[in-house]
Amino acid sequence: MAKPYIEPPAVDSTTVFKDDIFRGKVLFCTGGGSGICKAMTQAVIKHGASAAIVGRKLDRLEASAKELSTATGNQCIAVQADVRNPKQLQDAVAKTIEKYGRIDFVICGAAGNFLAPISKLSENGFRTVIEIDTIGTYNTIKATLPHIRASKGSYIHVSATLHYRATPYQVHVSAAKAAVDAISAVLAVEEGPQGVRSNVIAPGPIAGTEGMDRLSAKGPQGSQYSIHSPVGRDGSVQDIANATVFLFSPAARYITGQTLAVDGASEHLRTLQLPYPQSVLDPDSVTHLIKPRL
């Protein structure tokens, strides 16, 4: 039998796009202190932008901001805020404007998730994910929109592919991300005449991230079960970063109101990681496969 093709690792965006395409631009990113959003931020400032990363844990943010500045040679500041709190976000935007004088790009990336069936999911757990992902996205848009209008800028909302088909143990994030997709589409239509673009990036399984570690079913000795995609490799944060550079770049000026799944087509082959229907008939029997909620 012929061996399947394996796609090479993601290239660095600087091998495709000019180093200075975002020179003079400013990025405001929620959730930028770690994981996918940190990689997205690094890619944008690597091409000349300055950035403000926003999150709840200031010490973690400051460490990430210093790391990003050192790695790229461009400015990145840490601004503490909880996206569930409109006033804190407004203050974060004000500090960004005070520092840089403008905002051109916004990444709405703050998110929360864990594995739980509806029967075991508390009302508070469901509400918390909605508040962080959906209401947090809305609050971020409200706080930044006047500045994005002024700069004729662009939004990218970090979503997921979970709600494209029913995913057990993910009702909370499926509801939250479906709403994020809808918000982005409406924003694109309402604000297009103001010169504002809005798109969604929907990552598939991305190796080496906290989300993948927390949400993957665990095999022997805590190992993760592999997620296979037609391209023959796991997704990486660099894949998401490259999509970010493209969507913010002048090459994507006619692209708005769209959702870009960056998943190696894994959604079309998606199989359940937890045994079905055992996992929904007897949730207690699969708890050893799930990382405890943090």
Q: Which residues are catalytic?
A: 159, 177
* 189: Cα separation from own chain's centroid: 22
Q: What is the C-alpha separation between 242 and 10, in angstroms, rounded?
A: 8
Q: What is the C-alpha separation between 200 and 248, in angstroms, rounded?
A: 11
CB-based contact 105:160 (threshold 8 Å): no
Using DSSP, state whether 190 is helix, strand or coil. Answer: helix
CB-based contact 180:157 (threshold 8 Å): yes
| Number of Cα atoms under 13 Å in the Cβ half of residue 172 | 24
**Residue for token pair 């095999």:** 219
Which tokens in the block code for residue 217?
A: 């079913």
Burial of residue 197 (CB within 10 Å: 0-12, 13-18, 19+) is buried
